[in-house]
């Protein structure tokens, strides 16, 4: 324990243990000099000191926000290199291809629940992502690829494709999309673009998870045969 005769300078030396014990002494009637120390700890609350002491005792790092002080906003959204511009352009093309594929699925699928799942993914993920990519392309003055028609005049023969086949087409596209996002994250040095693609991959991982679960319910996922080493 601290001795009552210790000076205030020693208490404020940065020793969390000493400072913590000092605060305990401040609550003691015998500490006649505690009023003098109130000048030094005027802006320090008991809660703050206790929190710092606990973090120090547990070996936890204090979050000082160092990166926020070093990295400026203009550094986060700096210019882009040729690889990043290519990624933006190809990702827009990929979203256009996805919209056309989904148009085919919605026209030929007989499974209402599957169509609802697909439409929800388009409205909540694919279209918002496409809008973000187009805004980035305009911001960096990149040429936009030609946009496909909003809808297609397809045959009304509902028996042309099986629902299971359409599901597998969408699964292949979803798996490819995850690979493309991962490639974009590895290529992008621009912080704003990399953050955007990391958010994209998280969103599409959730969609992929929903597709897997729905495929299990419908029996559309083909399980590989069990390997037996004879």
Q: Tell me, yes or no, whether 81 and 38 share the same domain.
A: no
Is position 229 within any domain? no
Is position 224 within any domain? no
Domain of residue 122, CATH code: 1.20.1260.10
Is position 14 within any domain? yes
pLDDT band at 221 (very low <50, low <70, confident <90, very high): confident
Q: In this structure, how many other beta carbons lie within 10 angstroms of the beta carbon of residue 15?
A: 13
What tens digit of pLDDT does each residue of 85-112 get? 999 999 999 999 999 999 989 888 999 9
Q: Tell me, yes or no, whether 127 and 45 share the same domain.
A: no
What tens digit of pLDDT does each residue of 190-220 get? 999 999 999 999 999 999 999 999 999 999 9
Q: Tell me, yes or no, whether 94 and 58 share the same domain.
A: no
Is position 50 within any domain? yes
Rg (CA), the chain: 30
Is position 79 within any domain? yes
Q: Tell me, yes or no, whether 35 and 131 share the same domain.
A: no
The total domain count for the chain is: 2
C-alpha span between 194 and 94 (Å, rounded):
18
State the residue range of the domain holding 98: 73-218
């Amino acid at each position: 324990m601290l001795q009552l005769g210790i000076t205030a300078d020693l208490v404020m030396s940065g020793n969390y243990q000493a400072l913590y014990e000092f605060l305990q002494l401040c609550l003691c009637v015998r500490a006649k000099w505690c009023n003098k120390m109130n000048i030094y700890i005027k802006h320090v609350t008991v809660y703050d000191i206790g929190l710092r002491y606990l973090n120090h005792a547990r070996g936890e790092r204090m979050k000082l926000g160092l990166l926020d002080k070093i990295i400026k906003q203009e550094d986060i959204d700096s210019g882009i290199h040729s690889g990043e511009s290519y990624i933006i352009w190809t990702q827009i093309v990929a979203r256009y291809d996805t919209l056309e594929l989904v148009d085919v699925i919605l026209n030929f699928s007989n499974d209402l629940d599957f169509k609802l799942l697909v439409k929800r993914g388009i409205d909540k993920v694919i279209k918002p992502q496409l809008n973000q990519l187009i805004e980035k392309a305009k911001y960096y003055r990149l040429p936009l690829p030609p946009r496909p028609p909003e809808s297609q005049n397809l045959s009304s023969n509902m028996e042309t494709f099986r629902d299971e086949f359409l599901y597998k087409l969408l699964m292949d596209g979803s798996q490819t999309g995850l690979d493309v996002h991962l490639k974009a994250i590895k290529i992008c040095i621009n912080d704003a673009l990399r953050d955007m693609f990391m958010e994209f991959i998280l969103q599409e991982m959730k969609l992929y998870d929903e597709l897997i679960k729905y495929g299990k319910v419908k029996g559309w996922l083909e399980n590989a045969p069990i390997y037996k080493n004879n």
